[in-house]
């Protein structure tokens, strides 16, 4: 039987992407299938970043094609391309930012900012261009978490250049005020300051902008959710019932303003003693999974209560860069890929492809 493109496509239909659960034909990821005698080449185009598992995907496709009769050589290229997706209606988009991921929690103290910074670093490690906006005006923490000091530069006196560390662009009110200065501002001033930080920063070709929202579900958080063009939201919680009560409120807040929930991250899900190895569910167990079942959302991942996460983040070198090959960094990268896959399944934004109509008197 001669080797045909149809046979190659049939082989690719049997290969399931471990991240999406879809085969490479139905997902339209397989491109440029070329057959030259006994040599087959194919390009796999992913719509999410996946640097850490590109080799795994390449091997899966190579094995399937090499098993075809008459095939002696196989060449597989795997690349990623991130596109823009829709946001809430009536909200102005941010130039040079394709997608905005809001990281939120109903209450403080659940590790939201730590999750946000490691999510941003994980997306960057997976091959995306990433920025992080510290939206907590009252208690900015990203400057210390990223180990960044100094003030943003401004060439025109109106816009600011983001600061950068570990390949991630960053902006925070903490870059503009003294570390000991309290922000004694009312709600409208906080919202105005955040909008300035978001829109006056000259972000550079970002695939994802991670926004570390302040904790809570009050007027400030609701206003921010209505004014920031968010592609999707991630809720951070612990297994504790009290934390889950507030996490549910946060989830419902995003639903009210039409922002898709990408999933839930359960922090401090278990603790393993560094001395004896005993595992203990200090804050309970299974809470986030039950919440996901109640609201039909995905549990993106569960993170342990680990002293190293705290130490590394406090030192300005979060886990994903401090121990990139470690187990916890692997969990963060898995969460980042799952969130990116969920986002990629949302409706694409085609507004930039439509021409602007200008009426002039001639």
Residue 27, classed as helix, strand or coil, is coil
70 is in an annotated binding site: no
Structure tokens at 340: 């990116």
Half-sphere exposure of 325 (CA within 13 A, CB side): 0
The CA distance from 278 to 280, in Å, is 7
The CA distance from 146 to 165, in Å, is 7
What are the distances in angstroms from CA 302 to CA 173, 238, 285, 326, 343?
30, 9, 11, 15, 19
106 is in an annotated binding site: yes
113 is in an annotated binding site: yes
108 is in an annotated binding site: yes
334 is in an annotated binding site: no
Instruction: Enumerate residues 6+ apart whose C-beta is below 8 A from 267.
Output: 110, 111, 114, 115, 236, 237, 238, 303, 305
139 is in an annotated binding site: no
Token match 């194919």: residue? 42
Structure tokens at 96: 């040079």
The CA distance from 212 to 69, in Å, is 52
The CA distance from 154 to 232, in Å, is 30
The CA distance from 179 to 196, in Å, is 20
- Cα of 345 vs its chain's centroid, Å: 14
111 is in an annotated binding site: yes
Contact call for residues 125 and 333 (beta carbons, < 8 A): yes
Q: Which residues are annotated as a binding site?
A: 106-113
Q: Which residues are annotated as a binding site for ATP?
A: 106-113
């Amino acid at each position: 039987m001669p080797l045909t493109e149809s046979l190659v496509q049939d082989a690719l239909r049997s290969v399931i992407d471990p991240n999406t659960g879809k085969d490479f034909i139905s997902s339209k990821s397989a491109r440029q299938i070329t057959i030259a005698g006994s040599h087959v080449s194919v390009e796999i185009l992913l719509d999410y970043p996946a640097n850490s598992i590109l080799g795994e995907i390449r091997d899966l496709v190579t094995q399937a094609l090499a098993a075809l009769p008459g095939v002696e050589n196989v060449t597989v290229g795997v690349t990623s391309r991130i596109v823009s997706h829709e946001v809430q209606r009536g909200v102005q988009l941010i130039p040079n930012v394709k997608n905005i991921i809001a990281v939120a929690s109903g209450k403080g103290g659940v590790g939201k900012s730590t999750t946000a910074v490691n999510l941003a670093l994980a997306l960057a490690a997976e091959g995306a261009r990433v920025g992080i906006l510290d939206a907590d005006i009252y208690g900015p923490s990203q400057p210390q978490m990223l180990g960044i000091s100094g003030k943003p530069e401004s060439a025109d006196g109106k816009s600011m250049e983001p600061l950068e560390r570990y390949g991630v662009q960053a902006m925070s009110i903490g870059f503009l005020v003294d570390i000991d200065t309290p922000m004694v501002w009312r709600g409208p001033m906080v919202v105005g300051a955040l909008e300035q930080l978001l829109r006056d920063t000259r972000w550079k070709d970002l695939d994802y902008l991670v926004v570390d929202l302040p904790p809570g579900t009050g007027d400030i958080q609701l206003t921010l959710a209505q004014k920031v063009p968010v592609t999707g939201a991630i809720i951070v919680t612990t297994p504790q019932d009290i934390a889950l009560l507030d996490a549910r409120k946060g989830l419902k807040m995003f639903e009210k303003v039409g922002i898709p929930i990408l999933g839930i991250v359960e922090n401090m899900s278990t603790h393993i003693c560094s001395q004896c190895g005993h595992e203990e569910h200090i804050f309970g167990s299974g809470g986030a999974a039950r919440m996901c079942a109640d609201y039909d959302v995905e549990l993106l991942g569960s993170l342990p209560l680990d002293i190293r996460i705290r130490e590394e983040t406090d030192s300005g070198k979060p886990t994903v860069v401090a121990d990139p090959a470690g187990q916890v960094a692997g969990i963060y990268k898995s969460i980042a890929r799952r969130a990116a896959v969920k986002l990629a399944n949302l409706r694409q934004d085609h507004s930039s492809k439509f021409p602007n109509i200008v009426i002039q008197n001639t």
